[in-house]
Each structure stands twice: as C-alpha cells, then as structure tokens.
Amino acid sequence: MEQFHGVGVTPGRVVGPVLQMPAPVAEPVPGPVPGQDAVVEAERIRSASKAVQAALKDRAAAAAGEARGVLEATALMAADPMLVKGAVKLLDPSAEGGARSAERAVWESGAAVAAKLESLGGYMAERAADVLDVRARIVAELRGLPAPGIPDSPTPFVLAAHDLAPADTATLDPARVLALVTSGGGPQSHTAILARALGLPAVVAAPGVDTIPDGTPVYVDGAAGTVRTGPGQPERDAAAAWAAQAAALAGGFTGANRLADGHPVPLLANVATGKDAAAAAAAGAEGVGLLRTEFCFLDRPTEPTHDEQVTAYSAVFAEFAGKKVVIRTLDAGADKPLPFLTNTDEPNPALGVRGYRTDTTTPGVLARQLAAIAHAARDNHAEVWVMAPMIATAEEAAHFTALAKEAGLPTAGVMVEVPSAALTAEHILAHADFASLGTNDLTQYAMAADRMLGPLAHLNDPWQPAVLHLIKATCDGAHTAATTTGTPKPVGVCGEAPADPALAAVLVGLGVTTLSMTPRALTAVNKVLATITLPQAQELARLALAAPTAQHARDTTRNHLPILTTLGL
C-alpha cells in the first residue's frame, strides 16, 4: 500500500482503477530525414490514420447524443484525403524543403488543412480544432503512444494527471470519471473548480499520483486529500457510505434560501454554458452569480462574432427568465488564456494583462462583447447584471461602468479580486452598482501564491485571516459608499469559497449579501445556513476574523456548527 497526500478540493470517497492522462503530443522535429523509404512511411501514415478513425468510430458507437455526432465527424476527418494525401506528398524528397519524417509530414499537413478551414470562417473554421486533434492522435499512433486527451475506457476510472488544461476538462465525462487526482494544480485551479462543478471527489497537489501505473486500484478521499493504493474492505465500505450520503444530499434546495431568523441570502450559481445554466436552474439556483464567458470560447483562435456571442449568452439567460444573471466580461489570461487576447510571452501572467486589462492592449473586444451582452439581454427576460474581472482602481471601475451603460446595460459592477479593490471598495462602489468578490484570485493575490501551484496550496486557502479581513474591508466599503451615494450596494461572493458551508456562514456574517457557487453545493449550504441567525453568523465572522491562522478560523467555525457533522460534511 502506498499513500499520497495532497489537498482535498471536493469531498467524497471512491474506489476505482487509475488511468493516467497521456502527456500532450509534442511537435515532431522539422528537418529532412535521410534514407527513409517513402513508400513504407506512406503506408505507416495510411494505417495510422485508419487506426485512429476506427478508434474514434468505436467511441462514437458507444456515445450518445451530441457527443456521438461530434465523434463521428472527427472520425471522418481522421482519414480525410486532404490530410493524408498532403502528408504523403511531404515524404517525397522533391517536396519543397525536402522529405519530412512521417510524423512531421502529418503535423504539417494537419496545420495546412486547419489553416484552410479557418480561412473559410463560420462552421468550417470551428472544425479546425478537430483537425488538430486528429493530427495529434495520428502522430501518437505513429509513435506507439496512447491517444492524447482524457483516456477512453468502458469502465469508470480515477483520472490521474499532473494537471489538466481548461480545454481537457471541458471534455471530461462525469459518468466515466469517478474522481480526479493531480500532482500539480492548486485548490483554486480550474481543475479544482471543474471537479466541484461536476461533484467529483478530487485531490490536487498530491506529488507522485501522476506515476501510479494504469489499472492500479486506489481509494480517494477528497475531504482528507489522500489517495491510497491497495484499498481493502474498510475503504470499500467508506466509499459505499459516501455514495449513500451524497444521494441523500442531492437535490432538496427549492430556491429561497433564508437564515434561521428569516433573513434572505440568495444562493446563486456559477456557470459557464447554457447546459450548466439548465443544471443550475434544475438544482434550484435563485439566479446566476457568475457566468464565466471566457469558457464559451476557450478553443477559439479568433474573437467570436457578435451573433455567436448572443447565442452563447442567450442560452444562459433563457434558463433564468425573471431572475438575476451576473455575466462577467472575458477574463482572458493567466490560467485561462484565449488566443485572440492573451500574450503568452509574459513573464508573470497572473500579474499581467488579464481580465479587464486586455481592453488597453486589444481595444474593441470589450465594447463588442458588451454590445453582444446587451443584445442577448434584450432578447431574453433575465435580469442581466454585468461585471468586469480584475478591476484594481476606482478609475477602472468608472471606465467600465460607463462603457456598460453606454452599451445599454443598466446594472454594471466589478469583481473584487485584487486586494487594492477590496481596500478601496468605498471609492470603487461610488461608480459600480455592485461588487462580487472573486475569492479565488483575491486569495492568490493576498497571499502572493499562484493558485495553480500545488506546493502553495496551504496559502491558497480562503480561510486565511488576511483574506477574511479583505472581504470585511469590501463589505465595510460598500456600507460607507451607501452613506454617500444613498443606495446600499450589494456585495456578493462568486469564488469557490461559499461552496464550503462553514465558510458560507462566515461570509454572511461579514456582510456579504448573496453567495454564488457550483450548483452541487446549494443543498448543503442551504441546510447549514438554515440553522443560524444573522447575529450568530456575525459572531462566527467575528471569531474567524480574530483567528491567528486559517486552521484556527476553520476549526473554530466548524465547532460552532454541529449540523456539519450531522450532514457528514
């Protein structure tokens, strides 16, 4: 038996076999290959493309709905004559630049096909990413390596990796993946956020889990942050008990969260797509507290058109007619690069041109996005609020809110995720209609600890007293702003923090007015908040603020909330 320790980001206990995420396919080296037999190499390319096509067809046959269509289309592309013939031509010594190796020929031919599709625009341009996916699969096949991307297996498995890219996580099927374990990543990384959204037990920053051999049975405890090989009966029993408990906590939130004294604290959802929004509405969310628009366009090499944006946003607004939807403008950069906005050469991307700041380096994208949001808002009946990520100063808040209002969006606010914004909330809220605390980034910047780095996970903890004090400063700033502007300015939280029911109680006590979270957490948070009054929440906040360490703050709060033990949380 071997045990790996990391940071638990989603509670839950499961037993299952490990499958490792294959490493991304590296670009084959350019340059001529002396003495290769072009006929033999051409045959290798043809049979690799056929093997990839057959594997994709098998996956299509086993898939259902939308996924089936996508896989069938990708399978066709694997044997696309333009791709294969183009590659074979590049094996010939008479080709411009000389003969390429089979791998290099497929690589270059794939790039040429993708570029052609992109130049055609519209639907064809969207297929470019599929060609590049197929190209990587053929190269992996030629090298005798496993296909890139999330492994495909008929039996559910524990996915192990160093870390996952946002684009990989988008293709993760929760029906197949039992749990997620990574050697890298932090508790606020997008791997962790996705795991929470899918309700998958997850452990990040557990060194060594990316070396566990495929097929090894493991026990994952997402609360304790441990991964153990060779599970026995006690672990299997613990996993079965958790499955029963999770089933009991699923559903049950009917959409009007109140504290024990009747004080309302609306519970909203964090979403990225129309599909997420439908799931959030079904889970009882009282609205959307964070629509991460960049997730609609992660795989896009170019700026999405006005119509594409209107369609994507409308899909979310349509699920929440008559309810609030807070949509965030593109937060490109750092952990979520978008090719059309992000300069990948920056030495410190988290401190670089990301979020609202891209308006200075790529002007126009923000204004066009606001126009698309306003259009989608007019076409639907949701109460649309808009906010910008990474606002650091009152001038930025004034500029953004003016732009939003010019675009016809009456309620414009800012995210508070940079400590300077928390400390100057009074001045920022003189311009903005509301603030939404992004505790993931606020923690990263308060603690100077990259949220993607496993070894810094203990610092990336929203229970850190410094983070709690910044949240309090924001709420206090909103109160002061209310005395000068006459209107109380709402302060929500939309980072991952409120998904922890104990922390949700503290946030309410600190003065936060709404909580936004992964829909999976709604029931547990609702049940816990229903057991305390507002003065009790305020007392919890006072105790947490006075705690010398994150661990003290967490333990003290938990000791005052016996419901957590009753619910097994």
Residue 290 binds to ligand PEP (criterion: CB under 6 A)? yes
- Of 48-56, 188-196, 307-315, 434-442, which segment contacts Mg ion by CB under 5 A? 434-442
Residues 504 and 231: beta-carbon distance below 8 Å: no
Does residue 557 belong to the site contacting ligand PEP (CB under 6 A)? no
Burial class of 404 by CB neighbour count within 10 A (0 to 12, 13 to 18, 19+): buried
Query: What CA–CA distance (Å, rounded) separates 94 from 265?
Result: 71
Determine contact, residues 68/77, Cβ cutoff 8 Å.
no
DSSP, collapsed to helix, strand or coil, labels residue 203 as strand
Among 5, 162, 190, 427, the active-site one is 190
Tell me whether residue 99 or residue 391 sits nearer to ligand PEP (CB atom): 391
Q: Hey, which residues between 319 and 338 contact ligand PEP (CB under 6 A)?
A: 331
Instruction: State yes or no: is 560 an active-site residue.
Output: no
Q: Which strands sit side by side in the sheet containing 157-161, from one edge to the other?
A: 3-5, 226-229, 217-221, 13-20, 157-161, 177-182, 202-204, 7-10
Q: Which two tokens stand for residue 260?
A: 């024990």
Smallest gap from residue 461 Cβ to Mg ion (A): 16
Distances (CA, A) of 421 to 401, 427, 434: 15, 9, 13
- Site membership for ligand PEP, residue 169 (CB under 6 A): no
292 binds, among Mg ion, ligand PEP, none (CB under 5 to 8 A by kind): ligand PEP
Q: Helices in 449-500 by DSSP H: which ranges?
A: 465-485
What is the C-alpha to C-alpha distance for residues 93 and 86, in angstroms, rounded to an integer? 14
Least Å from the CB of residue 96 to Mg ion? 46
Give SS3 for 162: coil
Question: Could you say which of Mg ion, ligand PEP, none residue 191 binds, taking C-beta under 5 to 8 angstroms by partner kind?
Answer: none
Q: Is 441 in the site for Mg ion (CB under 5 A)?
A: yes
- Token pair of 344 as six digits: 């990948």
Question: How many angstroms separate the Cα of 413 from the Cα of each of 22, 169, 360, 430, 559?
Answer: 41, 29, 19, 11, 36
Contacts (CB under 6 A) with ligand PEP, residues 433-462: 438-441
Site for ligand PEP in 469-508 (CB under 6 A): 494-495
How far apart are CB 290 and ligand PEP at their closest, in Å?
6
Tell me, by CB under 6 A, how many residues bind ligand PEP: 10
Q: Which amino acid is at 246?
A: A
Identity of the residue, 103 or 335, whose beta carbon is nearer to ligand PEP in the bound complex: 335
Classified as helix, coil or strand, 324 is strand
494 is catalytic: yes
Closer residue to Mg ion (CB): 380 or 439: 439
Query: Minimum distance between the CB of residue 493 and Mg ion, rounded to whole angstroms?
Result: 12
Catalytic option among 5, 306, 494, 552 = 494
CA dist 544 and 376 (Å) reads 41
* Closest CB 505 distance from ligand PEP, rounded Å: 19
Site for ligand PEP in 409-438 (CB under 6 A): 417, 438
Bridge-based pairing state of the strands 202-204 and 7-10: antiparallel
- Is 286 a binding residue for ligand PEP by CB under 6 A? The answer is no
Q: Which of 110, 266, 352, 438 binds Mg ion (CB under 5 A)?
A: 438
349 near ligand PEP, judged by CB under 6 A: no
* C-alpha distances out from residue 548 to 66, 77, 164, 468, 475, Å: 51, 59, 34, 11, 21
> Whole-number minimum distance, CB 69 to ligand PEP, in Å?
30
Under 8 Å between Cβ of 543 and 271: no
| Cβ 293 to Mg ion shortest distance, Å | 13
Active site residues: 190, 494
Q: Which residues of this chain interact with Mg ion, rule CB under 5 A?
A: 417, 438, 441
Q: Which residues of this chain interact with ligand PEP, rule CB under 6 A?
A: 290, 292, 331, 417, 438-441, 494-495
